Amino acid sequence: MRLLRTVRGWSQETLAMNAGLDRTFVGAIERAERNLALATAEKIANVFQLSVADLLSPHTSAALLNALTWSDKTSNQLRYRLCWIRECSI
């Protein structure tokens, strides 16, 4: 969720506002300090225009991010970050 948010250039506050949640709650979810109820997952998935399954699946997140279109500068930054994330998660 954090990756989807930061790639879009959104703050936790922006995501929270768009999903109808509190910013501190979004932060707690990203830090895995709070459990994510299905209703909350649906709100967040809707903001990202994803299914709940895609939002929660680590395997589809990278594929979805690869499919996004960005300006050349942002695209290069995104590719670098995705490569770094993939190497770190292996």
For residue 34, give the CATH number of its domain: 1.10.260.40
Largest interatomic CA distance in the chain:
37
If you average pLDDT over residues 84-90, what whole number do you get? 55
The reply to whether the predicted model has a pTM over 0.75 is no
**Number of folded domains that form the chain:** 1
Non-local (6+) Cβ contacts of 72 within 8 A are: none
Q: Identify the domain containing residue 15 by its residue range.
A: 2-88
Task: Indicate the pLDDT class of residue 36, thresholds 50, 70 and 90.
Answer: confident
% of residues, the chain, pLDDT over 90: 37
If you average pLDDT over residues 45-51, what whole number do you get? 90
